Structure 1
Amino acid sequence: MTVEEFYKKINADYQDVIRRLANKQIVDRIVVKFKEDKTFNNLQEAMKQKDYKEAFRFVHTLKGTSANLGFSKLYKSTNILTESLRNNIYDHLEEEYKKVIKDYQEIITFLKDVK
């Protein structure tokens, strides 16, 4: 699967990302390397430890990356979790975090087929 086909699978706008980042080769390279990024793993560890200050830092980074790469579903879920952590609102934290996990895993699943 190509990077463009990957974007279709996740219902994201590949051409918009290329326009924003101004270079198709860079977009393709960054997207393929996304699965190697450790931010999500760090977020998982921080959430496991209930270190919400660190969790905020990692989810905020993941939110920015998602926005830049046009991963709109992941962006939305990370944005919700980011704001809860920023404002020390923990009532729905577990379900918000589970949504982030689901959206992240969907991207990783499709990325495994990108060549």
Structure 2
Amino acid sequence: MSYIEKTAAALGENLEPAVQRFGGNVELYARFLKKFPQDPTADALAEAVRQKNYPEVERSAHTLKGVAANLGLETLRAGSDALVQAVRRQSFQEVDSLYESFAAEYARVKKILEG
């Protein structure tokens, strides 16, 4: 079983469409997937949520949404999008609980990718 197959199984995600977005280059895709946990945007999002800096919450969550989408990390994409949409609706009371769900999923994904 390849790294991509093992990772897809552990994540519960279909990563094949993401590999195709990388031109079918499995090695390139794997390199970007392995680098994802090192991206500082998740830390920036956590700090923005802590400070209730909603414009930064929106920016950081939107960035993570794009990266997660490109990598085929659908659960993280959806969680990021929920944060973006809550801020855009000015439903600021939802941000903390949405972030808690996102952070738990991010920690799970990060552990798998670093594993």
Q: Please report the TM-score for the alignment, with normalisation by the length of structure 1.
A: 0.91
Pairing of 1:28-107 with structure 2 (within 5 A): 28-107=30-109
Provide the rounded CA distance (Å) in 2 between the counterparts of 1:2 and 1:100.
24
Letter of the 1:38 counterpart? P
Runs (4 or more) in structure 1 with deviation over 4 Å come to none
Contact 1:39 1:58 in 2 (8 A): yes
Provide the rounded CA distance (Å) in 2 between the counterparts of 1:95 and 1:67.
22
Q: Secondary structure at the residue paired with 1:92?
A: helix
Contact 2:13 2:72 in 1 (8 A): yes
Shift of 1:11: 1.1
Higher helix share: 2
2:22 is aligned to 21
Shift of 1:20: 1.8
Letter of the 1:19 counterpart? Q
Consecutive unaligned residues of structure 1, counting only runs of 5 or more, are none
Higher relative contact order (CA 8 A, sep 6+): 1
Q: CA RMSD in A?
A: 1.3
How many residues align? The count is 113
Letter of the 1:15 counterpart? E
Letter of the 1:17 counterpart? A
Letter of the 1:2 counterpart? Y
Shift of 1:86: 1.8
Provide the rounded CA distance (Å) in 2 between the counterparts of 1:21 and 1:97.
29
Greater CA drift, 2-11 or 31-40: 2-11
Consecutive unaligned residues of structure 2, counting only runs of 5 or more, are none
Shift of 1:2: 2.0
